[in-house]
């Protein structure tokens, strides 16, 4: 995978764990038990998960998350987008908590690890602290971010995006599912529209760590349990509307048609060509059309309207812009050839980013203790994209079998899950020590 440039962490910063912290370790069996418990709601017969935002199973797992984290000394804040902050006090509660966050919602045909593992690893950190009677310097908050997947209420990372200032509360609460239900209405229905304002300013974090399965094959091929995430590639989503003319399939000559579905098919092929032919494609670029709807859905009527969903990604913003321009030009040519009209709406942008050097250094030193040193640029978006706009942020990737995700066969070995939690514990404690030293110096 292509790399993003990132500033080197300062060589002068010592991030060794204190003696008190270095003796702390996670419990692999407990992590697996917590993971399985978290998947009691929304599991499917094929071994996967279907826990869409604000359905009954999402409410149940939220209730479980709050009940479990209360056992480890947490109080809870629920904001107006349903984000849940399970906060364990520290020695200096004038500081905002260090966040350990991910999500508990899934794809409709998802697996048991995407997002869920990150929350479970955060819960394991709480259990380690509680079991060992440790009060960290800064408070800690395990966060369940609402609607990360965007599967029911697009776009993805919606409610961390509100907290990070990308979206307004009004916009996010007004997002609709295919049946016309709004996210705000559904949060009220399940009892998870909180009273805390959804913003960094009203409900701050000091920093944000996230564990997530890689969702790609790099760690699996390298046989590494965990990896250091240096940043996230650039991403954009588009809604494309294609207007043709309905006509009878039996009486309309082939050369007198304005077939919107035929035009859409050619656009799909052209999208793939633009990012696969080496003389055209930017290095590391990806473009995918995975959503297609046509009307009027009658077997003897030529399709007059088609809507497409286009996803473009690349390591650099400029590469995404180049792919977008080439797609738009190619689509316009196809429209001219077939008498079609097109709308091209770029409704979501997530620029490329590099994570905080000190946070990344904490992760590097933590995963080094596990014999891992692989650095990766994330090809997928995560809640950490939006937290990084407000606070220092870093991520840890966990190996998943064959790089498969968003599928029931998604799988990470028990020992790899434990390695992810161990890396999180070490990175978090290093950052807490760093904050302690920095505050004392001030």
* Chain segment 19-28, per-residue pLDDT in tens: 889 999 999 9
Q: What gap in Å lies between CA 106 and CA 80, rounded to an integer? A: 21
Are 196 and 294 contained in the same domain? no
Any domain includes 275: yes
Same domain? 30 vs 127: yes
- Average pLDDT rounded to a whole number, residues 41-59: 98
Note whether 188 and 313 are same-domain residues.
no
Do 365 and 345 lie in one domain? The reply is no
* pLDDT for residue 37: 98
pTM: 0.86
Final residue before a domain boundary, out of 311, 333, 350: 350
Domain range for 325 is 234-350
The answer as to whether 11 is a domain residue is no
Residue 12 lies in a domain: no
217 in the same domain as 168: yes
What is the spatial distance between Cα 387 and Cα 368, in angstroms, rounded to a whole number? 25
Let me know whether 117 and 159 are in one domain.
yes
CATH of the domain at 371: 3.40.630.10
Q: Give 198-250 pLDDT, tens digit per residue.
A: 999 999 999 999 999 999 999 999 999 999 999 999 999 999 999 999 999 99
Same domain, 307 and 325: yes
pLDDT tens for each residue of 360-387 = 999 999 999 999 999 999 988 899 999 9
Residue 424 placed within a domain: yes
H runs (alpha helix) in 164-297: 169-173, 183-190, 218-222, 260-276
CA atoms within 13 A on the CB side of 27: 14
Would you say residue 13 lies in a domain?
A: no
Confidence band of 8 (pLDDT split at 50, 70, 90): very low
Cα 357–349–142 angle (5° rounding)?
A: 50
**Look-up: residue for tokens 């035009």?**
263
Residue for token digits 């910063």?
Answer: 13
CA dist 149 and 162 (Å) reads 14
**Do 80 and 120 belong together in one domain?**
yes
CA distance 41 to 56: 8
pLDDT tens per residue across span 82-127: 999 999 999 999 999 999 999 999 999 999 999 999 999 999 999 9
In this structure, are 173 and 250 located in the same domain? no
Helix (H, G, I), strand (E, B) or coil at 292: strand
Quick one: 310 and 216 in the same domain? Answer: no
Residues 213 and 294 occupy one common structural domain: no
Structure tokens at 292: 């297609």
Contact 314, 261 (CB under 8 A): no
Q: Is 114 in the same domain as 188?
A: yes
Domain total of the chain: 2
Helix (H) / strand (E) element for 62: namely helix 56-70
Q: Residue 11 — pLDDT band, cuts 50, 70, 90? A: very low
Specify if 10 maps to a domain: no
Nearest to 69 by CA among 38, 111, 98: 38
pLDDT at 36: 97
The Cβ of residue 7 has, within 10 Å, a number of other Cβ atoms equal to: 9
pLDDT of residue 280: 64
Domain final position from 292, 323, 350: 350
Is there a domain that residue 367 lies in? yes
């Amino acid at each position: 995978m292509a790399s993003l440039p990132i500033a080197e962490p300062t060589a002068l910063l010592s991030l060794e764990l204190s003696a008190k912290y270095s003796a702390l370790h996670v419990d692999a069996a407990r992590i697996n038990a917590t993971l399985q418990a978290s998947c009691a709601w929304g599991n499917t017969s094929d071994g996967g998960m279907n826990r869409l935002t604000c359905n009954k199973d999402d409410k149940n797992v939220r209730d479980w998350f709050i009940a479990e984290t209360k056992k480890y000394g947490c109080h809870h804040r629920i904001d107006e987008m349903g984000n849940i902050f399970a906060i364990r006090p520290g020695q200096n509660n004038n500081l905002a908590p260090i966040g350990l966050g991910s999500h508990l919602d899934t794809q409709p045909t998802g697996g048991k690890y995407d997002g869920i593992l990150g929350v479970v690893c955060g819960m394991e950190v709480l259990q380690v602290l509680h079991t060992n009677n440790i009060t960290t310097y800064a408070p800690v908050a395990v966060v369940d971010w609402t609607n990360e997947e965007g599967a029911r209420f697009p776009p993805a990372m919606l409610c961390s995006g509100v907290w990070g200032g990308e979206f307004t509360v009004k916009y996010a609460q007004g997002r609709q599912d295919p049946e016309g239900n709004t996210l705000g209405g559904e949060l009220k229905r399940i009892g998870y529209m909180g009273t805390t304002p959804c913003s960094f300013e009203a409900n701050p974090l000091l920093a944000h760590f996230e564990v997530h399965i890689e969702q790609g094959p790099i760690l699996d091929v390298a046989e590494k349990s965990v990896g250091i995430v240096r940043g996230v590639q650039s991403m954009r989503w588009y809604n494309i509307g294609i207007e043709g003319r309905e006509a009878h399939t039996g009486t309309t000559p082939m050369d007198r048609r304005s077939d919107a579905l035929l035009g859409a098919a050619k656009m799909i092929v052209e999208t793939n060509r633009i990012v696969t032919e080496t003389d055209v494609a930017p290095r590391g670029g990806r473009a995918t059309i995975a959503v297609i709807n046509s009307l009027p859905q009658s077997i003897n009527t030529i399709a007059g309207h088609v809507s497409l969903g286009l996803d473009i990604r690349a390591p650099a913003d400029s590469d995404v812009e180049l792919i977008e321009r080439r797609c738009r030009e190619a689509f316009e040519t196809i429209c001219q050839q077939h008498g079609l009209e097109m709308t091209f709406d770029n409704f979501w942008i997530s620029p490329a980013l590099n994570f905080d050097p000190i946070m990344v250094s904490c992760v590097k030193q933590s995963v080094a203790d596990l014999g891992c040193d692989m650095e990766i640029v994330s090809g997928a978006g995560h809640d950490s994209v939006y937290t990084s706009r407000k606070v220092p942020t870093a991520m840890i990737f966990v190996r998943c079998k064959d790089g498969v995700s968003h599928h029931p066969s998604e799988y990470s070995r028990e020992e790899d899950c434990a390695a992810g939690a161990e890396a999180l514990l070490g990175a978090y404690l290093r950052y807490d020590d760093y904050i302690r030293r920095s505050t004392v110096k001030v």
